[in-house]
Amino acid sequence: MSKKVTTIKDIAERLSISIATVSRALRGSSDIKRETKLAVMEMAKEMDYHPNLLASSLSSKKSKILGVVVPTINRQFWSNSISGIENVAYDKGYKVMIFQSAESFQKEVEIVETLANSRVDGILLALSKETNTYNHIQSIMDRGIPVLLFERVCSEINSSKVITDDFNGSKEVVQHLIDRGKRKIAYLSGPISLGVCEDRLNGFKEAHKDNDLHFDQNLILEISDFTFEAAENALIKLWEMEDKPDALFCFADILAIGALEASRKLGISVPEDLAIAGFGNDDICRFVTPSLTTMSQPSFEMGQLAANLILEEINSEDDEHQPHHRTIKPILVIREST
């Protein structure tokens, strides 16, 4: 009952020619007579032939597949950057397989290993927030698989990287808040162990320094759950302080939205009592009330750039490709919340 799948061997037999010729004809190889090529194509169609990519990749050592690993696809920054990656990958004849680590180190390791063992041509990776050792990555790079880190990167790995200019982006947001007359600016950060978060914190500090403003460590809250609820709780905590902040900068839009929600519940008027700014520019920012000021990250373009870089590396001849580092500037989008 299991239907007989036709292979190039079957085609060869029916046409009384060699397997090699069929293989070449199917792949549009150069030195092939027009007629035989056409004959093969026709027979392939007639016999409902479909190439076995496993066999093909195994033999050719190329899969024309890119692997992408992100913490989650359920946030616009990530899904948009994936679209950017696909946009250029498909153009150049590559397919992309998407995986989510769910912010789990364990899963990230498994996925990266599977990808490598499946012989994808390259891996685009954004680290999970739990990740702080990098053997799994070094290992596959040592095995000769091109890796590119984007957005969530680390200094320990010497690969190509595409990141946001977090330091200056953050600095600019804070400067904007200061320009609005705010002086006690709180910051909702993700885990400082993440490079992104560290850079944004440093930008935050730098802006304070530039303006001779006191940097108050008590106003820095580090939260590890990227959820609305976590942000709500954080704001509630901030508002219990005797010396309340007059502005809040959030590491990600999702947190800013949570904070906005909390301030509505607490009766805090935004931006008068508390100005709020986020980072990312998810669609939702335009639609909340008040609409949310945020740093717009060109996620789609980041994806495109990342894909271009790794494809360049994949198709480069020399074995010791020099890794590229690219930084993309985010753009401040000012809305009602500040």
| Residues touching a copy of itself, count (CB under 8 A) | 55
Question: From the list DNA, a copy of itself, none, which binds 142 (C-beta under 5 to 8 Å, kind-based)?
Answer: a copy of itself
- 114: tokens are 């599977």
Residue 199 touches a copy of itself, criterion: CB under 8 A: no
- With CB under 5 to 8 Å by kind, the binding choice for 86 among DNA, a copy of itself, none is a copy of itself
What letters, b where the CB count within 10 A reaches 16 and e where it falls short, cover 236-271? eebbeeeeebbbbbbbbbbbbbbbbbbbeeeebebb
Tell me: does residue 100 bind a copy of itself (CB under 8 A). Answer: yes
Q: Which two tokens stand for residue 179?
A: 């320009």
Which positions from 298 to 327 touch a copy of itself by CB under 8 A, shown as an x/- string? ---------------------xx-------
**Closer of 55 and 331 to DNA (Cβ):** 55
> What is the rounded CA–CA span in Å between residue 110 and residue 177?
42
Residue closer to a copy of itself, measured from CB, 43 or 262: 262
Dist CA 204 CA 187 (whole Å): 8
Token digits of residue 36? 């035989």
Residues 333 and 40: their CA atoms lie apart, in Å, by 58
Of 80 and 131, nearer to a copy of itself (C-beta) is 80
Q: State the minimum distance, in angstroms, from the CB of residue 71 to DNA.
A: 30
Residue 23 contact among DNA, a copy of itself, none, beta carbon within 5 to 8 Å by kind? DNA
Q: Rounded to 5 degrees, what angle do the CA atoms 213, 202, 211 make?
A: 20
And the tokens for 53?
A: 């990519």
Q: Applying CB under 8 A, does 7 fall inside the site for a copy of itself?
A: no
287 scored as a contact of a copy of itself (CB under 8 A)? yes
Determine which residue in the list 13, 46, 91, 113 makes contact with a copy of itself, applying CB under 8 A.
Answer: 113
